[in-house]
Amino acid sequence: MNKKEILELKRRMTKTNCTFTRMCGCYVNAEKEIVLTFNENFLNLGEDELHKYLEIATKTLSGTRGNNLLELTFPKEQEEAGGKQQFLMGLKESKLKNDELSQTFYQLVIDNYDYAGNYLIILFHDVYDVMAKTSDNRTLDESEEVYEYLLGAVCPVTLSKAALGYIETENRIGPRMRDWVVGVPDAGFVFPAFTGRSTDIHSVMFYTRDTKEPHDEFMEFILGCTARQTATEKKNMFTDIISGAVPDERRRGRVLYDIHETLQGMVDEKALFTEPAQEPDPIVLTPQAIKDVLATSKVPEEIAERIGQSYVEKFSSEPPVAELLVDKKILSSGAHERREEELLIEVQQLKDELGQTKNELALTQPPADDADCKIILRVAPQKAEQITTQVIDGRRCIVIPIEENEYACVNGEALFGQDTE
């Protein structure tokens, strides 16, 4: 499912466009016990209740594709009798009117879902009459296909915080009664997937709110698919690979910034040559592609080799795409640090120029109080630090060390240096 297809389904989840036929679900407590179940015609719900359930359904199709939304493919054995895909097909075809199938699904979630607390399991059934579209994306007034699907969501149910409120029956401010409140979905799915604006029974779209810990058990044991990594997991793993290859923290920051700057440049260039109405093709970072990225980023050869080896070990089965690997925080902090370094260089250059100017002025303009000075020395700033005073043969002396490549002049006449050799 691409971005347009996901948005097409989301836009229908309003009171006027929604065609959900039925909804069922169950409330599970922290002891994994079913507290209640329900099954009703969706359009018979009250307006406020309907809107809240539509918010849950919409949220299950929200987030970034490849991060919050992962398209999973069913293994061949799951499409055979007794497989998870076959079970979901039967649940869809029942239109949620078969309580036994619904109960089986609830128990499947309860047995496998990793969550310590109360939660709500919800299933929606929908039938979407897909309208045909022309090549310029205009909708024709004729049906192309009927897309029938299930949308499932698992929402945490938490106790509201203690607070003060207005108690109308007593006409006073007092402690508000705490309620169990249904939150936004932690996990969910759409089956079958809506691929190419058509039914794809071989795939399912999985949703996770937490992209760092995306409920692998849901993908594997409830949907029957191989768990996939989110973009966040891949991004963190990529950062760990680079960190392991560059032990020095300061050097590591520069390498990270250079690599992510190269990746961002690739993404920007791809977008530049893509038609505005189209979605850019993903830039898949194969092992060879990452070698090219490291070379463009001018990563030292020994570091690039270590990164390349670890990259193959971690990402050989499913290489990440550049768009989802770019870390905006690394780019922002790296750009800030680089600008600070440039400013420090500029400040040092200005100091050097100022020192040079002072020296030039000192050579041409004697100090105002020179009248009482018998000896006036004019030396480079770095040489001034080497001048000392000593008592030699009972007399105070100024001692100036002179290196082989240096020379000295007194009143314009050379004492040491090339001219006196």
From residue 111, give the alpha-carbon distance in Å to each of 50, 123, 154.
29, 17, 14
Give 146's contacts (C-beta < 8 A, 6+ positions apart). Answer: 127, 128, 129, 130
Give 335's contacts (C-beta < 8 A, 6+ positions apart). Answer: 257
User: Over the Cα atoms of the chain, what is R_g?
Assistant: 36
Q: What percent of the chain has pLDDT over 90?
A: 60
Using 50, 70 and 90 to split pLDDT, how confident is the model at 333?
A: confident
Give 152's contacts (C-beta < 8 A, 6+ positions apart). Answer: 60, 105, 121, 122, 123, 124, 188, 189, 190, 191
Give the pLDDT confidence of 233-284 residue by residue, as tens digits.
999 999 999 999 998 888 888 899 999 999 999 999 988 888 777 778 889 9
Q: Which helix (H) or strand (E) holds 190?
A: strand 187-191
Which tokens hold the place of 104?
A: 């089986």
Residue 322 near residue 296, CB atoms below 8 Å:
no
Instruction: Specify the pTM.
Output: 0.76
Which tokens hold the place of 349?
A: 């250059």
Using 50, 70 and 90 to split pLDDT, how confident is the model at 367?
A: low
Cα–Cα–Cα angle for 298, 301, 307, rounded to 5 degrees: 90
Domain assignments of the chain as residue spans, ordered by start: 3-162+174-228, 233-340, 371-420
The residue count for the chain = 421
